[in-house]
Amino acid sequence: MKVEGTYTLPASRQKVWELLNDPKVLAKATPGIKQLDPLGGDTYKATIEVGVGPVKGTYAGQVSIADKVPLERMTLKVEGGGKPGTIRATGELRLEEQDGKTIVAYTGDAHITGLIASVGHRLIGGVTKQMVGEFFKALENELKS
Amino acid sequence: MVISHALGARIKRREDPRLITGRAIYVDDLNFAGMVHVAIVRSPHAHATIRSIDTTAARRAPGVVAVWTGEDVKARCGPLPVGPRIKEMKAPKRFPLVIDGVVRHVGDPVAAVVATTMDAARDASDLVEVDYEPLPSVQDPEAALEPGAPILHQDLGTNVCFRMTYGGGNVEEAFAGADVVVKTRIVQQRLIPAAMETRGVVAQYKGGELTVWTSTQIPHVVKTTLAETVRLPEHEIHVIAPEVGGGFGSKLDVYGEEGLVAALALALGRPVKWIESRRENFIATIHGRGQIDYVELAAHHDGTVAGLRVRAIADLGAYSQLLTPGVPTNTGLMCCGCYRIPNAHAEVIGVFTNRTPTDAYRGAGRPEATFLIERAMDLLAAELKMDPVEVRRKNFIPPAAFPYKTPTGAVYDSGNYERALDKALERADYRALRDEQAKLRKQGRYLGIGIATYVEITGLGAVAGLSGGNWESATVRVEPTGKVTVLTGTSPHGQGEETTFAQIVSDRLGVPVEDVVVLHGDTRAVPHGVGTFGSRTTPVGGSAVYVAAEKVKDKAVQIAAHLLEAAPADISTDGARFTVRGSPERSVEFKDVARMAYKAYKLPAGMEPGLDVTHFFVPKERVFPFGTHLCVVEVDPDTGEVTFRRYIAVDDCGNILNPLLVAGQIHGGIVQGLAQAIYEGVTYDDEGQLLTGTFAEYVVPQATDVPAFELDHTVTPSPHNPLGAKGVGEAGTIGATPAVVNAILDALAPFGVKDLQMPITPRRVWEALEGNSASR
C-alpha cells in the first residue's frame, strides 16, 4: 500500500529539520506512539497503538531514520508486530523551502500481514492518510508553541 | 425399480428435529473433566524462514500446560497423507506443525499452546515470539511456473507437483480441418467452503484407547492415517464423527490438527480440545477451485464440434492435502461434457503457490470441466450465430451410444441429454423468453437466458492409496424384537441417510421406517467404511444397505419356511408377515422370525443364528448424472446489477429415493454454484495476505440473494447399482455456475461483452460496459 502527498509547514527548513530529528517531538507528534526509547544511531524502540477499523492493537517494534541528507531528506522506517499482524513501512520525506515556508513531500509504502491485512485493508489507506495528517498537524502545533 | 410406500416417498428428514432444536451434539459440545484447550500460532507471512521461536513468555502465562513447536512434533508424530499418488507426482511431506523451519502460506501452523481454558490458550499464544525472515513469495500459479519464480519446496526443486494428459483422436488434424475455432481463458477463482460448523477435534487417551472426536467426512480414513501419525496400533484408536455441521469437501481431509490434538492427548494424559475459529477456517482449512483454464474449441460451420484442447493450471496452494491432485484431474477427465467430441486433449498441471492448500470442494473438478465446455459452447454459438440450444443439440451424445467412452477416458453409464434439455426448455417456454428478450432490448432492458447442460461423475471411489478401490460397507441387523439397526460406512454432514437408508430397509423388509435406526461415524460401532464425498452416499452406501437388506430378507424367508414347514420358494411376504402361498392361514410375523433367528435350536440344521448381515458393496463403475439448468437474469446496464428472473433445473439422478431430499440437495447446490458466479471469490494481495478474511469481505449469499427454484427431473436409471440411483449432492453446483454466467453474458451480448471474470459483481459488469460504451 502506497501513500504520497505534500504538507506545508510555516517555518524554515532548518526549524522543520530540527523538529523531525527530535525524538521527543517525534514521540509526541506520531499518532499512536506510546513509547519511544533511543537505541542509538537514529534507531528507537517503539510501542505503537493503532486501531484500523475493528482491529485494534499494540505493536512493538523499531523506528529508525536513515538516508539522512541534512535539510533535504530522510527516510523513516517502521517495523513492528503485534497480535493483529505485522507492519513494515518506509516513508521518505523531502524538504523544500519556499517563501520562508517548508514544503514536505512524502512518499510511503507499507506491507501489512495478518488480521490488519485481511480485515483492515479497505480502511488502512484512509487510516494512514489520517495519521499522516495528524502527524503534520502536530508538527505545526509544535512550531507554534 | 419398484417405488414402494417407503422408497421414493416424500418423507421428511428424521434427523432434522434434533438439528433444528439444538439437541444435536457437535465436537464443541463435548466437555470432559480435566480437559485442556489448544490455540495454534500461525504464520502471518506467505513465505518465510523461521529464525527462532521463543516460547518462554507463553510457558509462564497463567493456565498454560504446554507449548509445542515443530521440534516437539518431530519427536512424536509421523507424516500426514499427501494425496493419491499419481505418476511422477512430487509432493512434500506434511506434519501437524511446520518442522522444517519454512512457512509457506498465511495460516501455516507454527506452534501450539495448551492451557486450562480456551481464553488462556489464546491469550498465551500471543506471547509466542516467532522471528521470521520473510522470503519472496509466489501467488499466481502461472507465475509459479516461470523460471526464476520463488520455489516453495527446495528439495523438490520445482513448483510443479504433477502433469497429466488426457485425450484421444487427432486434435491437430481436427483443428487444421475446422471452419471455426473459439478460444477463451477462464479463471476459476478460489472459493472458501465456509461450512456452518468450523473444524474441531477432541482427543482423550484412557484405558489404553485413544478416542478422537473430529468434525470429518471420513472417520475411518482418519483412524487409519492417525495410526501412522501418532504411532499407535490402529485397533487402539477410536474415531467418532459426531454431528458434523457441513463440509462440502473441506472435511474430506486428514488435517494436521487431528494428529496434533491426538498427540497432545497421548503426551499430556488429559483430554484435549481444539476448536477452529472462523478466521482460522478461512486460512487453514482448504480452499476450493483455483484453476486457470485455456480452452480452444474447433468446429464446422454447421455447429459440429471437431476438437477440444484444454490446458488447466491448478493452483494447489502450499501443500498437497489428502486429495488435492485428484481435483484438477477430474477436470481433464470430464472436459468433453455431454458432447460427442472425437478429438480432445487436456493437459493438467498442478502447481504449488504460497497460499492455503486447495482440495475437493462441492463438485471437485467437475464444475471446472462443465464450466469450460459450457462457456466454449456458448462462444461457439455466438461465433456461428446459432442458438446455444441448437449447438448443444447438434453435439449431444445420443441415448443409443451408452455406455459411451469419452476420448479422455470416462465411461458414461447412461443418459438422455436431449430429454432433460427439452423438459427445461418447455418449462421455461424458451421461444417466448427469446421473444421477450428481443422486445425488452428495444426498450433498453437487458434480459439474459443462460443454458448449461452438464454431465458429472458420482459414486466416487475410495481414497486411493488408503483404502483402495471404490466400495462402501453396510450392516443391517434385525434385533430379536424385530427392530432394525443399520450401520453405514458413509458419514453424513447433511446428506440425510438416516432417512433414506431407513427407507431402503423399510422397502426391502417391510418394517416401518420408524423401526429402523441408522448409525454412522463411529469406527467402534461401524465396520470399516470409506466416508461421504463425491455424491457417493446413495449410489455406493445406499446400494450396500440394499444388498445387506436383501440378504437379511433371504435368510428371514428361510427361517419362516422352516417354522411353517414349507419350502422357501413357497413363502410369500409383504414384509410384516410371511405366508405359505395358497394357505393364508399358515403365516408367521416378521418379528417372530426375528426372535427365532436368535434361538439356535429353532433354526434349520447348519444355519448360523442371528439376522445380521454386513455387505461391502463394490459398484461396477462410477455413475454419471446429468441435466439442464436454465437461468434467466436481467442486467441493469447503469448499475451493473444482476437480478434473477427465473431458475429452472431439470436434473437426472436416476431413480429418486426421496424427492424432498433430492430437492434439498439441488437447492443448496444451486446456491453454492450461483454464489461462485456472482458473489464469492477469494482475494489475496501480492504478498499472499488473504484480503477476504471475514464474512464481511467474503460474500456468502443469504436467502434473500437467491431466486426461487423451479425443479423438475427426468429419470434414467444407472445400470451399475441395484438402486438405479446416481448421486445428486453436487449436481446443482455443477449446473448453476455456467448457467448463471451464460445468462449474464447473453444479456450483455448487445454490448459486445464476451467474457467476465467471476464473481461477476455489479462493478465488473459496470466496468465492462464502460469499456464498451461505444457500442451503446
Q: Domain residue spans in chain A?
A: 2-144
Kindly tell me if the per-residue pLDDT of B465 is higher than 50. Answer: no
What's the pLDDT score for residue B615? 98
Q: Tens digit of pLDDT for each residue in B355-399?
A: 999 999 999 999 999 999 999 999 999 999 999 999 999 999 999
Give the angle B706-B711-B712 at the CA atoms, nearest 5°.
165
Query: Which chain A positions have a beta carbon within 8 Å of B126's beta carbon?
Result: 83
Kindly tell me if the per-residue pLDDT of B671 is higher than 70. Answer: yes
Return the half-sphere exposure (C-beta side, CA atoms, 13 A cut-off) of residue B218. 25
Enter the C-alpha cell of residue B194: 465456509
pLDDT band per the 50, 70, 90 thresholds, residue B501: very high
pLDDT, greater one: B602 or B654: B654
* Section B474-492 average pLDDT: 97
Q: Which of A30-44, B23-37, B307-321, B650-664 has the lowest mean pLDDT?
A: A30-44
Mean pLDDT taken over chain B: 95
CB contact under 8 Å between A117 and B282, yes or no, is no
Nearest to B285 by CA among B399, B361, B351: B361
* Section B497-504 average pLDDT: 97
pLDDT band per the 50, 70, 90 thresholds, residue B468: low
Residue B107: closest C-alpha in chain A: A114
Enter the C-alpha cell of residue B578: 410371511
Candidates B42, B280, B685, partner chain A, best to mutate (most A CBs within 10 A): B685
Candidates A1, A55, A86, A113, partner chain B, best to mutate (most B CBs within 10 A): A113
Q: Which of A85, A86, A118 sits opposite B691 (nearest CB)?
A: A118
CB contact under 8 Å between A117 and B689, yes or no, is yes
- Annotated domain spans of chain B: 16-22+471-617, 31-135+194-284, 137-192+287-390, 413-460+623-776
pLDDT band per the 50, 70, 90 thresholds, residue A85: confident
Query: Which chain A positions have a beta carbon within 8 Å of B696's beta carbon?
Result: 119
Kindly tell me if the per-residue pLDDT of B121 is higher than 50. Answer: yes
Kindly tell me if the per-residue pLDDT of A52 is higher than 90. Answer: no
Residue A83: closest C-alpha in chain B: B126
What's the pLDDT score for residue B464? 46
B577, with CB counted inside 10 A (0-12, 13-18, 19+), is middle
Query: Which chain B positions have a beta carbon within 8 Å of A112's beta carbon?
Result: 689
Q: Which of B89-93, B144-148, B667-671 has the lowest mean pLDDT?
A: B89-93
CB atoms within 10 A of CB B444: 10
Residue B548: CB partners within 8 Å, gap ≥ 6? B474, B475, B476, B613, B614, B615
Kindly tell me if the per-residue pLDDT of A122 is higher than 90. Answer: no
Identify the CATH assignment for B31-135+194-284 out of 3.90.1170.50, 3.40.50.300, 3.40.50.410, 3.40.1360.10: 3.90.1170.50
CA distances from B352 to A63, B85, B91, B101 (A): 36, 16, 9, 18
CB contact under 8 Å between B689 and A86, yes or no, is no
Query: Which chain A positions have a beta carbon within 8 Å of B685's beta carbon?
Result: 117, 121
pLDDT band per the 50, 70, 90 thresholds, residue B772: low
DSSP letter at B767?
Answer: H
Nearest to B27 by CA among B281, B222, B280, B275: B275
What's the pLDDT score for residue B48? 97
Query: To 10 degrees, what angle do helices B219-229 and B256-268 make?
Result: 60
CB of B119 less than 8 A from some CB of A: no
What's the pLDDT score for residue B36? 98
Kindly tell me if the per-residue pLDDT of B696 is higher than 60. Answer: yes
CB of A24 less than 8 A from some CB of B: no
| % of chain B exceeding 90 in pLDDT | 93
pLDDT band per the 50, 70, 90 thresholds, residue B775: very low
Instruction: Please state which CATH number belongs to domain B16-22+471-617.
Output: 3.30.365.10
CB of B699 less than 8 A from some CB of A: no
What's the pLDDT score for residue A119? 74
B474, with CB counted inside 10 A (0-12, 13-18, 19+), is buried
CB of A61 less than 8 A from some CB of B: no
| % of chain B exceeding 70 in pLDDT | 98
CB of B736 less than 8 A from some CB of A: no
Indicate if B413-460+623-776 has the same CATH topology as B16-22+471-617: yes
Q: How many CB pairs under 8 A join A and B?
A: 39
Q: Which of A45-59, B7-21, B403-417 has the lowest mean pLDDT?
A: A45-59
What's the pLDDT score for residue B461? 62
CB of B13 less than 8 A from some CB of A: no
Candidates B128, B132, B133, B690, partner chain A, best to mutate (most A CBs within 10 A): B690
CB of B583 less than 8 A from some CB of A: no
Query: Which chain B positions have a beta carbon within 8 Å of A83's beta carbon?
Result: 126
CB contact under 8 Å between A83 and B691, yes or no, is no
Q: Which of B44, B126, B694 sits opposite A113 (nearest CB)?
A: B44
| % of chain A exceeding 90 in pLDDT | 37
- Homologous superfamily assigned to A2-144: START domain (3.30.530.20)
Instruction: Please state which CATH number belongs to domain B413-460+623-776.
Output: 3.30.365.10
Alpha-carbon gap: B698 to the closest alpha carbon of chain A (Å):
10
CB contact under 8 Å between A117 and B693, yes or no, is yes
CB of A123 less than 8 A from some CB of B: no
Q: Which of B126, B279, B692 sits opposite A83 (nearest CB)?
A: B126
Query: Measured between alpha carbons, how far is B502 from B555 in angstroms, rounded to an integer?
Result: 19
Q: Which of B282, B685, B696 sits opposite A117 (nearest CB)?
A: B685
Candidates A83, A109, A118, A119, partner chain B, best to mutate (most B CBs within 10 A): A118
Query: Which chain B positions have a beta carbon within 8 Å of A89's beta carbon?
Result: none
What's the pLDDT score for residue B88? 86
CB of B685 less than 8 A from some CB of A: yes
Kindly tell me if the per-residue pLDDT of B410 is higher than 90. Answer: yes
| Residue corresponding to grid cell 495478518 | A114
Identify the CATH assignment for B137-192+287-390 out of 3.30.230.80, 3.40.50.920, 3.10.580.10, 3.30.365.10: 3.30.365.10
Q: Where are the alpha helices (DSSP H) in B108-189?
A: 118-125, 141-145, 171-176
